[in-house]
Structure 1
Amino acid sequence: MFNFTPLLGAQSSEAASQSLLELDGGIKILVDVGWNNDFDTNLLKQLEKHVPTLSFILLTHATSSHLGAYAHCCKHIPLFSRVPVYATEPVIALGRTLLQDVYASTPLAASILAPSVLSEAVYTFRDNPAPSILLQPPTQVEIAGYFNRIHSLKYSQPHEPSPTPSTPPLGGLTITAYSAGHTLGGTIWHIQYGLESVVYAVDWNQAREHILSGAAWLGGIGASEVIEGLRRPTALICSSKGSQRVALTGGRKKRDELLLQLIKETIQNGGTVLIPSDSSARVLELAYLLEDAWTQAKGEDDALRQAQLYMASASGNSTIYNARRMLEWMDSDIVREFENQAAQMGKNADDKQVHKTSKAPFEFAFLKVLERKSQVNRALSREGPKVIIASDSSLEWGFSRAFLEYIAHDEKNLVILTERTSPISKSHQGLGRKLYEVWSRKSGIKGLDDASEDPPAKAFGGGGAEITGRHVRVEQLAGQELSVYQQYLAQQRQILTTLNADRGGTALEVADIVEDDSSESSESTEDEDEEQQGKALNVTAVMAHGRHKLGLTDAELGIDILIRRKGHYDWDVVAKKGRERIFPFITSKRNQRADEYGDIIRPEDYLRAEEKERDDADGVENTQHGATKEAAVGEKRKWDEVGADSMPGKRLANGISRRRRADENRPEPMNGVLMNGDAESEADESEDEEDEFNGPVKAIFSTKSISLNLRLAYIDFSGIHDKRSLQMLIPLIRPRKLILVGGESDETMALESDCRQLLSLDTDGSDHSTDILAPAIGVSIDASVDTNAWSVKLSKSLLKRLHWQNVRGLGVVALSACLRPGEDDPGGEEENTKKKLKTGNDSIEGQAQQNGVQGTPILDTVALGMSSITRTAAQPIHVGDIRLADLRKALQAEQNTAEFRGEGTLVINNTVAVRKSGTGRIEVEGMVTLGAMGRLDGTFYETKRKVYDMLAVVSGA
């Protein structure tokens, strides 16, 4: 069984992607935790319902449309942080810097508390609209912790994931990551479970780029066939975004030339170029290209050398730092460049000029990173042309919006759009989408996907077009709004009290999420409001799960039903393994202040009685004299004792000075992340400080009009598959079920029509049409493969007669046997029956027989009386898949000439041709000729013999 449900990103203009895959045995897999740039919590309601039953999560790309809601879910959705997550190392590192950039750039990323949550608390103020109260956002340290929990995988590495403890076992399910080519570390996931082979491929790119080698669909000699792991899946989940887009003639080289041409023209006119992009994925391609162009520019008279090159992102240094240490994930040319630079520097160790000019990839000499507003303001105040890559491409957050407002009035300036930005939401388009629509009208491009078919090689003036943008600022709650919020918190505390009394076993889980009030007495009062806000939200979500019985059936609960359901006191452990045979136990972490390594050790808890008395006496003496004894040089201070130099300042409730708290927040490398970037000076930091409010805050929205007098241009740097790639690869993949997601309705319908024609007939002419499905958001479809398969047991007598053949790690045998019911199993099964009787379960077995429930059927040897009328031996068969490259090596080892000619044709001794069809069928064509001495040429028979030798012969039994 395989059911697929697109939670987000199906026949929709919004780019956010979330997909739910359900397999036999209650296995649920969530692929991607995408979010839009409107940060609407209503989009996460469907996801929240499935969190208690999720087995694990897979992430595909380090973009906001694929993991933008990950940190929010970890902080505000109970049980989400316990679900195992799998991704490649670049997705983990770049995703972390992306979300740190998002939360540092816009307060709206914290998301607004839904009005429905406040509806019961504001019943006395129904005439007034509900305030836009912001949730408590995760800190940068918390975001780093969330991503540290993700399990990293390598490409082409099969892995058996571990499920969430409260979910059913996975039963041999394996996941394998393959390169998607769209972003660094982007993944095409292959999920193998029993007979189900599911390939999840959303936002992939087959074309080779500067730092990415393209999707890993094809392999073999000349990349002429789909690799075995992705070939002929039972279900292919593919994105339809860009399905009607025609690739630019000339490919990557022509694209780069158009970009540099527009930049040079603007620089020569003394203008500024703004290139909106994301902050961690596609920005690497642009940064590498422009840095290389500045490096290749000859002399100071070149137009490019006359302009300053900037990259504006709140996490820019972290992104570049992570890119430097992930060269093995990039294209082979990048690795080769790094090796050549290292070899050149080794040969010319004494040449200072070589050391000055040589640099490794992503060690930028011309590109400067801007991470703070003060740096951005100084860059804008400098005279002369500038080229700026700024986040984000939507222009709803990040520095790109500030640059746009600054340069919009001058017609010498230029904005280069690198992708067709999707609308933020149904009610809010966003500045990026509005800019694309203005360019579309000015250039005469009306179709959604016509921009690359015949792209204009020039920029178009904005003509004073007016566009409006939304601004967000925060204010502290006060007056009536604060009273409403306090009523809401009081209601949540009351819910927590009833929850602990009524929910029984599940109340302990609340203790893991909501910490005891007594343990918070050591925290500062300023931090109390912020933590209490997150606590209340968690309790609300937990209560929602409790009202729906956590969304679990009795079968899905398993043995946990003993503590999660009232009135259940018995559990059948027959045929159960591991945890299902042990009474469940949940530990409470109510007073735990710990990390992954366990509880924090407090030395005072292990003091002897006389040591405690001496410490108490010292404490009383110090209190009476009103002084603190300063430790001598080399002497250790006692627990929670601070130096004298830190006493004049204010102290926090837990004894830690504010200066020490500030030191802990200074930028330092942590988990591959440069927190807050490289600080230039304390003055810069003071300039960037804004009004920070303690306690709950609300969002205030306002609109601002921008008059576009600058020029607009569009060059596709999205790195998404085009029409030709889809029409070429999907017939080669030959899926049994094709599921289309991730595109607008028009794109999806057009691709569905094209695929119906391409997949109507197989390459050999036989009719094996593929089912094509295009579900809408929230619609679950059954994509199970139609197969007839049963589980049987082999008797000992039959097992002794079998001769197994090893084919790529699998045991294969052909046999003829007699099928018997499970209760007729002779010999070895009697011991199992005796063991069952000893456990006292004979009454249960008798009840099962009365209900018609039988055991697994058994294959046994054919009786002697039936051997004369039954065919007991199967014909030998050949099993395996021959690669023509391996066949070529084998023939060349025996002094034969073998070379590839044409499209996948292997020619041996100029007399025999070997071809391989798309279905794996091998065709050997040739003739028997006389040699130089009048002898028969045995090339044809020798080639056939080699073909058979490379296959496993499975004999009958």
Structure 2
Amino acid sequence: MFTFTPLLGAQSRSPASQSLLELDGGVKILVDVGWDDSFNSTKLQALEKHVSALSIVLLTHATIEHIGAYAHCCKHVPGFSRVPCYATTPVMNMGRTLMLDIYGSSPNAASTIPRDGIYTSPVSATAGDAANLLLQAPTADEIGSCFALINPLKYSQPHQPIPSPFSPPLGGLTVTAYSAGHTLGGTLWHIQHGLESIIYASDWNLGRENFLPGAAWLSSGDGGEVLEALHRPTALICSSRGVERAEAIAKRDRDARLVGLIRETVAQGGKVLIPTDSSSRVLELAFLLNCTWRDNIDGPHADTYRNARIYMASKSSKTSVRYLQSMLEWTDDNVARNAEAAMQRGDAQGSGSNPLEWKFVHQMERRSQVEKALSRNKPCVMLASDASMEWGLSSQALRTLADNQKNLVILTETACQAAEGRKGVGRQLWELYESQGHGASKSGAKVVNTDGHAVEIKVSNVEPLTTDENMVYQQYMARQRQMHSSLQGDTTLNGDTTADLGDDQASESSESEDEDEDEEHQGRAFNVSAQLTQSKRKTGPLNDAELGVNILLRGKNVHDYDVRNKRGREKMFPFVAHRNRNDEFGDVIKPEEYLRAEERDDVDGVDMKATNGGGPDGNAPVGQKRKWDDAANGKRDREPKVQHKRVKSEEKRAPDDIDDVIARLTGESGGAGGASNGIGEEGDSDSDESEYEPEDDEAAEPKKITFTTQSLTLNLRLAYVDFSGLYRLNDLQGLIGRINPRKLIVTGGDASETRLLADTCRAVENGKAVGEIFTPVDGDVVDASVDTNAWTVKLTRQLVRRLNWKDLGTDKPSIAAISGILGSEPTEDALKSDPDDEAAKKKLKLTKVDQPLPATSTLSLPILDILATHSTTHHQRAAQPVHVGDLRLAEIRAAVQAQGHTAEFRGGGTLLVDGTVIVRKSPTSGSLEVEAANAALSMPGWRTKTNEGTFYAVKRVIYERLAVVVGGV
């Protein structure tokens, strides 16, 4: 059995992707935990309903559409962090930097408490709109802990995953990752379970790019054949995002258009803004621009390139580049070879010969750096996050560049439609680009003048809660903690501690009992029983019915619990195995525990011995409990601490002319600034990343978010160059016949894109390439099981002894033909009716010995036994010898070349041997076809005693590599 349910992104305006695959035996696989730029937690409710039954989670790309809600679910959804997650190493690392960028750039990314999460009470009725109360955003340490839980996999590495604690056995489930292109480490997932062979292909790109490899559909050297593991799957789940793009140009022309637009704008003294993501597609753009600057620094346009700088602006740009240096093997083969050759030569740093040494791309992570770079009276190119211009640094850059006609905004992908009643800035610019007249630039690209058009920008503001709102928030969080502990079987919270859910001190004391358990005991519940969702909130502890099996731990004098007709956790003794905190290097080490004596005396300029609380902020030292009023004192002391840090920073900034100081320091250290690179003029060094800007102190108190709309008038220019890195419709048209899936499921696109892809696949070879096509919407359950019935039978010992097994090769199963008669197991009742049947007595005895099922089971397996003597000859004659196996054309080519023949691949998956014999593989049945020209049969030397000719030699090679299965016993 195999069912597919799209949870988010199927025929939807939202680009997010979430899919649920349910296999035989109750195995549930969640593929992707995507989100969109609205960060609406209500869109995750469908996912939360299935968390308690998930077996594993698979991630495909490190983009917000595929991994954006992962950290949110780990923190706020109970049990999600306990589900094993699998991804490639680049998806892990780049996903971590993406989360740091999202939560560091926008407070809205933390999401808000949904309206149905606030219980009806007199307090909430006076609190006004409760939907703008912000949840606690994951910290940087929590994000690192979440991604440390992911299990890394390599390409083409079959892996049998470990199920979650609340999952049934996986039954031999095997998952394999293949390259999908589009992003670094992007994955095509092949899922094998029993008779089901499923390929999940979301956002893939068949062609190779400058920096990224292409999708691994085709095997190298096989004349365009599809990989054996990806051929003829049970179901192909394919995304349709981007198939409506009409313009199709070669990669070289695409790169030339982008570089031409940038060069024209920079030569006129303008600035270029390219909104993109922060950790995926930005790498392809940055690599192309860095290579262009390196190759043209001494060319005919040297002055243009020397005066312009390239900036990569996101909250985690430095971390992304640092991770990239350690993932060389995941890049394109040419890039990896050139980088390895440069490292083997021992080229000096800054030489520019290493393609992964981004000498001309400067990373910046602060808004002040972006503002300063754009305020300079010099041209530049800025790759800023994000593409929607809703939450990243690209929105700030747009405001700065909007009023100058020399400036240019280059859109690299089609903006998605409005998902929640309003159009984002990226969508407004896209519609403005499509609707306005255009003039062709020198590069041949379409350029649009905005001419004073206005766009609406959504601005978020964070404010403290009022007294009533704070009471509602504390009630909600306390109830979530209690419900979370109840679902997890936790014993750290009891009725006395949480009796008053509105008491702040009680909730704080319960949180501080065990610092190591914070990650496991925070979060919002995904399902609430009828007793917990009543209209009036209970102020006392939970009753026996609400506690469930946890009554064994919390109830007094309770020593037994009735588990009959119970399911899930209700049948198991409540227990939570607390995991140690660890990262990619092992257990997390607390640096303060390894300080020297002189370091303990003075930390951050504060005398540790003279501090009452034992710490620099008045808090107790690590491992000691705080006093009753320490929490309140800590809040009062927080603001002076921030002021003290700012005073110290002001002292470090003396003298007043900060630009001179930075230029002098950069010149002394030989950094990667503009002067040291020979780019730009003296006194204008590009060392923005060294500028100090204090981060806002993480507020522990709850906040709410309000939104205002501002109108921005545009006078700049717009252009579009397709750098989305997605496959085109003609790519799938030429590939679907080779993949030859039994069923096709189209998801991951809006309604028009889904219809277009489905209609195109139906028209391929009159629909013979695809058996059945499904186009579900969010929430639809698609039954895509194979059209085959499988039964389990029990073989008798006599039959097993006569089996003639044939080996199909290494790493392949053996096969044997069986002819037998199907019957049932002998029973004691049947033996009583015929007590003289000695064969039945012996068979009953053997059955009892070999019985794999419990004696109390009522199930009985059918028995396959040898045929009777009079019918054996008849069935053996009917069973003809069969050649079994699956040969690749590359294996045939190597074998015939070893015998002295010439063999070469021709187009369309054809092998030509000695110029006279053609070997091809049927795209529908997969069988080999050997053909010879009629003229070749009359050639001299065609048949000799030592060589029967090329035709027969090829056929002999094929037969020798196939297993001959003769008629069964």
When normalised by structure 2's length, the TM-score is 0.80
What SS does the corresponding residue of 2:137 show, helix, strand or coil? Answer: coil
Match of 1:689 among 682, 690, 695: 695
How far apart, in 2, do the equivalents of 1:471 and 1:362 lie? 37
Once the two structures are superposed, residues 292-319 of structure 1 have per-residue CA deviations (whole angstroms, 9 ceiling, x without a partner) of 0110114384322221111101100111
What SS does the corresponding residue of 1:219 show, helix, strand or coil? Answer: coil
The answer to whether the 8 A contact 2:314-2:393 is kept is yes
CA positional deviation for 1:381 = 2.8
CA positional deviation for 1:634 = 13
Match of 2:822 among 819, 822, 833: 819
What SS does the corresponding residue of 1:459 show, helix, strand or coil? Answer: strand
1:28 aligned onto 2:28: yes
Match of 1:895 among 888, 897, 900: 900
Query: How many residue pairs get matched?
Result: 858
How far apart, in 2, do the equivalents of 1:561 and 1:174 lie? 35
How far apart, in 1, do the equivalents of 2:824 and 2:232 lie? 35
CA positional deviation for 1:482 = 2.5
Once the two structures are superposed, residues 121-160 of structure 1 have per-residue CA deviations (whole angstroms, 9 ceiling, x without a partner) of 4556359333611000000110010000001111111111
CA positional deviation for 1:429 = 1.8
How far apart, in 1, do the equivalents of 2:889 and 2:38 lie? 52
CA shift in 2, pair 1:631/1:395, >3 Å: closer
How far apart, in 2, do the equivalents of 1:461 and 1:361 lie? 36
CA positional deviation for 1:481 = 2.4
What SS does the corresponding residue of 1:833 show, helix, strand or coil? Answer: helix
How far apart, in 2, do the equivalents of 1:220 and 1:689 lie? 50
What SS does the corresponding residue of 1:427 show, helix, strand or coil? Answer: coil
How far apart, in 2, do the equivalents of 1:385 and 1:430 lie? 27
Partner of 2:309: 308
The answer to whether the 8 A contact 1:396-1:430 is kept is yes
Partner of 1:760: 766
Q: Which runs of 5+ in 2 are unaligned?
A: 534-548, 554-558, 623-633, 649-672, 674-685, 828-839
1:875 aligned onto 2:886: no
CA shift in 2, pair 1:356/1:70, >3 Å: closer
The answer to whether the 8 A contact 2:126-2:468 is kept is no
The answer to whether the 8 A contact 1:562-1:568 is kept is no
Query: Which residue identity is paired with 1:805?
Result: K
Partner of 1:833: 848
CA positional deviation for 1:907 = 2.9
CA shift in 2, pair 1:729/1:856, >3 Å: same
Deviates more, 1:915-924 or 1:35-44: 915-924
Query: Which residue identity is paired with 1:731?
Result: G
Partner of 1:743: 749
Partner of 2:717: 711
How far apart, in 2, do the equivalents of 1:709 and 1:179 lie? 42
1:38-57 equivalences in 2 (<5 Å): 38-57=38-57
Partner of 2:677: none
How far apart, in 1, do the equivalents of 2:337 and 2:851 lie? 64
Partner of 1:270: 269
How far apart, in 1, do the equivalents of 2:964 and 2:589 lie? 62
Once the two structures are superposed, residues 861-880 of structure 1 have per-residue CA deviations (whole angstroms, 9 ceiling, x without a partner) of 11223335544673221111
CA shift in 2, pair 1:859/1:653, >3 Å: same
What SS does the corresponding residue of 1:475 show, helix, strand or coil? Answer: strand
Partner of 1:699: 705
What SS does the corresponding residue of 1:73 show, helix, strand or coil? Answer: helix
How far apart, in 1, do the equivalents of 2:142 and 2:494 lie? 15
What SS does the corresponding residue of 1:42 show, helix, strand or coil? Answer: helix
Partner of 2:324: 323
Once the two structures are superposed, residues 585-625 of structure 1 have per-residue CA deviations (whole angstroms, 9 ceiling, x without a partner) of 443569x9866989999xx9xxxxxxxxxxxxxxxxxxxxx
Partner of 1:863: 868
Once the two structures are superposed, residues 255-311 of structure 1 have per-residue CA deviations (whole angstroms, 9 ceiling, x without a partner) of 010001111111111111000000000000000000001101143843222211111
How far apart, in 2, do the equivalents of 1:172 and 1:314 lie? 42
CA positional deviation for 1:42 = 0.6
Query: Which residue identity is paired with 1:475?
Result: E
Match of 1:508 among 470, 475, 489: 489
How far apart, in 1, do the equivalents of 2:513 and 2:699 lie? 11
CA shift in 2, pair 1:248/1:323, >3 Å: same
What SS does the corresponding residue of 1:760 show, helix, strand or coil? Answer: helix
CA shift in 2, pair 1:568/1:529, >3 Å: closer
Query: Which residue identity is paired with 1:472?
Result: S
CA positional deviation for 1:757 = 1.4
How far apart, in 2, do the equivalents of 1:593 and 1:515 lie? 28
CA shift in 2, pair 1:169/1:527, >3 Å: closer
Match of 2:457 among 450, 465, 469: 469
Partner of 1:613: none
CA positional deviation for 1:478 = 2.4
Partner of 1:363: 357
CA positional deviation for 1:924 = 1.8
What SS does the corresponding residue of 2:735 show, helix, strand or coil? Answer: helix
CA positional deviation for 1:530 = 15
Q: Which runs of 5+ in 1 are unaligned?
A: 347-353, 446-450, 549-559, 573-578, 605-629, 667-677, 764-768, 849-853
Query: Which residue identity is paired with 1:112?
Result: T
CA positional deviation for 1:7 = 0.5
CA positional deviation for 1:217 = 0.6
Partner of 1:6: 6
CA shift in 2, pair 1:761/1:934, >3 Å: closer
1:475-874 equivalences in 2 (<5 Å): 475-488=463-476, 506=487, 508-509=489-490, 511=492, 538=523, 540-541=525-526, 543-544=528-529, 568-569=562-563, 584-588=572-576, 644=609, 651-655=617-621, 684-685=691-692, 687-690=693-696, 693-758=699-764, 760-762=766-768, 770-808=771-809, 809-823=812-826, 830=845, 833=848, 844-845=856-857, 848=858, 854-871=859-876, 874=879
CA shift in 2, pair 1:282/1:355, >3 Å: closer
The answer to whether the 8 A contact 2:313-2:382 is kept is yes
Query: Which residue identity is paired with 2:45?
Result: K
What SS does the corresponding residue of 2:263 show, helix, strand or coil? Answer: helix
The answer to whether the 8 A contact 1:815-1:873 is kept is no
CA positional deviation for 1:930 = 5.2
The answer to whether the 8 A contact 2:103-2:109 is kept is yes
Partner of 1:389: 383
CA shift in 2, pair 1:954/1:301, >3 Å: same
Partner of 2:544: none
The answer to whether the 8 A contact 1:405-1:706 is kept is yes
What SS does the corresponding residue of 2:49 show, helix, strand or coil? Answer: helix
1:206-355 equivalences in 2 (<5 Å): 206-221=206-221, 223-249=223-249, 251-299=250-298, 301-345=302-346
When normalised by structure 1's length, the TM-score is 0.81
How far apart, in 2, do the equivalents of 1:561 and 1:704 lie? 52
CA shift in 2, pair 1:375/1:901, >3 Å: closer
How far apart, in 2, do the equivalents of 1:897 and 1:513 lie? 80
Partner of 1:931: 940
The answer to whether the 8 A contact 1:34-1:67 is kept is yes
How far apart, in 2, do the equivalents of 1:570 and 1:933 lie? 79
1:147-162 equivalences in 2 (<5 Å): 147-162=147-162
How far apart, in 2, do the equivalents of 1:42 and 1:155 lie? 35
1:429 aligned onto 2:423: yes
Partner of 1:94: 94
Partner of 1:943: 954
CA shift in 2, pair 1:287/1:529, >3 Å: farther
| C-alpha RMSD over aligned residues | 4.4
How far apart, in 1, do the equivalents of 2:319 and 2:173 lie? 35
CA positional deviation for 1:917 = 1.9
Partner of 1:378: 372
Deviates more, 1:693-702 or 1:705-714: 693-702
The answer to whether the 8 A contact 1:562-1:569 is kept is no
CA shift in 2, pair 1:415/1:515, >3 Å: farther
Deviates more, 1:54-63 or 1:359-368: 359-368
CA shift in 2, pair 1:941/1:37, >3 Å: same
CA shift in 2, pair 1:9/1:691, >3 Å: same
The answer to whether the 8 A contact 1:804-1:811 is kept is yes
